[in-house]
A = this chain, B = another copy of it.
């Protein structure tokens, strides 16, 4: 089977997860890794059995044996590095959030279009089988009419102004870092964005949001979406209908889905994955690339832009509320 030869840009936590899961994606192979520090690249390559280790991002992007780049750096670097990868003629899968503003997202999408090169945001949630199963149950009317959607993502982290999470220079803040998951979950389930947003933003002393509460109104459906660095939340995604509910524990890395009708568990689904769940997006992107597609049908750039716009709207709705 023909395989896409991937190169990983960055050697951090999320890069490791990608490298660990890629073996479960049949059309993807790992050819190279590039890091700012040579020793990091070398030890990463050794750990995951990667043929090539590059001591700079430039060297990685110049490697003629790399077809596609996975951008695994913090999001403040995504625009610049994805642009560089696209200009080097590589297909690009870039960690989420794709950029840190709608304008940057438009610029990046335009670059991909101009280069006629593949670009996808690594919104792995969209490819998880349990998420797709939930959408199927929803579309089949199994919970009656959808009334409410709820999704939280929060963890208790010790405040540290130098940490990326709280650092405005590194585009810190809960919304961009983890809030994108509930917001993306909402769009994946509803298929569209909200008509009205209310939000409360809790700001850290560094000036970034460390906790965000939102109410989205989409037609008759209300979504409560929250994220927090201040406390552990359930991190469950729930779709509540007139007749039942769908529950997705740890929805952002969901392995299972549960369907309740009239209060009773009717059906459950387990994805029996072998990796950590990145394999689904890796396989989907690799197939796109092998088939000469320029965008993902599941996570098109229009969805990435919509998520950026949702997050910008949450911030501005929150600002309005604080001023009031």
Chain A positions within 8 Å of B, measured between CB atoms, are 147-148, 156, 196, 198-200, 202, 211, 213, 215, 217, 220, 222, 224, 226, 228, 230-233, 240-243, 245, 263, 321, 324
A242 touches B230 (CB 8 A): yes
Residue ID in chain B nearest A156 by CB atoms: B242
Q: Known contacts being A232-B263, A242-B231, is A222 close to B202, with CB within 8 Å?
A: yes
Q: Which of B202, B224, B240 contacts A213 (CB 8 A)?
A: B224
Q: Which of B200, B224, B230, B240 contacts A231 (CB 8 A)?
A: B240
A156 touches B224 (CB 8 A): no
Contacts of A224 in B (CB 8 A): 213, 224, 226
8 intermolecular pairs with C-beta atoms under 8 Å apart: A148-B228, A156-B243, A196-B321, A198-B200, A200-B215, A211-B222, A213-B222, A232-B263
Q: Known contacts being A202-B220, A224-B224, is A230 close to B156, with CB within 8 Å?
A: no
Report how far A232 CA is from B264 CA in the complex, Å.
12
A9 to chain B: closest CB distance in Å?
34
B215 touches A198 (CB 8 A): yes
| Pairs of residues from A and B, 7 with the lowest C-beta to C-beta distance, nearest first | A147-B231, A198-B198, A231-B240, A147-B230, A213-B215, A200-B215, A213-B222
A248 to chain B: closest CB distance in Å?
15
Contacts of A228 in B (CB 8 A): 147-148
Report how far A156 CA is from B243 CA in the complex, Å.
8
Contacts of A231 in B (CB 8 A): 147-148, 240-242, 245
Further contacts, 18 of them, CB under 8 A, given A148-B226, A196-B200, A224-B224:
A147-B211, A147-B228, A147-B230, A147-B231, A148-B231, A156-B242, A196-B324, A198-B198, A198-B200, A198-B215, A200-B217, A202-B220, A202-B222, A213-B224, A231-B240, A232-B240, A232-B245, A233-B240
Contacts of A222 in B (CB 8 A): 200, 202, 211, 213
A287 to chain B: closest CB distance in Å?
38
Contacts of A215 in B (CB 8 A): 198, 200, 213, 215
Report how far A222 CA is from B230 CA in the complex, Å.
12
Residue ID in chain B nearest A214 by CB atoms: B215
Report how far A208 CA is from B200 CA in the complex, Å.
26
Residue ID in chain B nearest A212 by CB atoms: B222
